[in-house]
Amino acid sequence: MLEVCIDSLESAINAIHGGADELEVCSSLPEGGLTPSPGLVKEILKMMDNISCGKPIYKHCTDFCCKNIKRPKINIMIRCRGGSDFCYTTQEMDTMLSDIEYYKTLNVDRFVFGALKETYNIDEESCQRVITAAYPVLVTFHRAFDICLDPSYTLDRIIKLGFTRLLTSGQQESANDPKAIELLQKLLIINEDRIEIMPGAGVNADNVKDFVEIGCKIIHSSCKTCKEINVKSELSMGTNSTEYIFYTDENIVRSVKEVLMKTVDGKRINVLKQ
pLDDT given for residue 192 in this prediction: 85
Beta partners for 242? 230
Average pLDDT over residues 239-249: 74
Average pLDDT over residues 232-243: 58
pLDDT digits (tens, 9 = 90+) for 185-236: 999 999 988 999 999 999 999 999 999 999 999 999 999 998 877 766 666 5
pLDDT given for residue 12 in this prediction: 96
pLDDT(67) > 90: no
pLDDT(25) > 60: yes
pLDDT given for residue 241 in this prediction: 47
Determine whether 258 is exposed, middle or buried from the number of CB atoms within 10 Å of its CB (0-12, 13-18, 19+): middle
Among 183-192, 238-247, 259-268, which range has the highest average pLDDT? Answer: 183-192
Q: Where are the domains of the chain?
A: 2-273
Mean pLDDT computed over every residue of the chain:
91
Contacts of 161 (CB under 8 A, 6+ apart): 122, 124, 127, 128, 131
Per-residue confidence at 54, pLDDT binned at 50, 70, 90?
A: confident
Q: Report which of residues 238 and 196 the model is more confident about.
A: 196
Superfamily of domain 2-273: Copper homeostasis (CutC) domain (3.20.20.380)
Q: Report which of residues 258 and 50 the model is more confident about.
A: 258
pLDDT given for residue 68 in this prediction: 74
% of the chain with per-residue pLDDT over 70: 90
Predicted TM-score (pTM) of this structure: 0.91
